[in-house]
Amino acid sequence: MDSGWTKSRLLSWRLLSFLAADPNEQAKLIGECPAWFVRERTDVGANYLIGVALAASHLVLSDFREQVDDESLLVDLDSRVRSMLEDFGAEVWNSESLATNAEWQACRRIARECIGQLSLLPALPHAPFLICDIVDVEDYGGPF
């Protein structure tokens, strides 16, 4: 890795690696997160996963688009994540849906392809992200 990597790009690499990881690995990394986005009932992990998706949608494309000849994979991943963020329903945002939901499966496949295209190795975080450190939640009004 060259020394020109910013903190943002390093975070984007970790976010992209999270999106590319096997569902069991993703589920192990779901951390604590206050109810900033949804009121969790049966959708345990929803706020954390939404926070990760929000951070990825703000960082990954912008941090890596200059490093690829064809940005279509990054754009596809970004649009899928943004599309998922249009609905905070429990069928997408819970730990079980990581393995079963078609959108999560597609995001995982595309994220893996992006990592390959960028000639990176996956770099999962060693501990869950602190959502309040990667997403500006101060002004987030939430869906409720």
- Write the pLDDT tens digit of every residue in 40-76: 766 678 889 999 999 999 999 999 999 988 899 999 9
For residue 49, what pLDDT is reported? 94
User: Model confidence at 136, in pLDDT bands (50, 70, 90)?
Assistant: confident
pLDDT score of 2 more than 80:
no
Q: What is the DSSP string of 79-115?
A: HHHHHHTT---TTTSSTTHHHH-HHHHHHHHHHHHHH
Q: What angle do CA 22, 25, 31 make, to 5 degrees?
A: 135
- What's this model's pTM, rounded to 2 decimal places? 0.89
Element housing 50 (H / E): helix 46-64
User: Model confidence at 35, in pLDDT bands (50, 70, 90)?
Assistant: confident
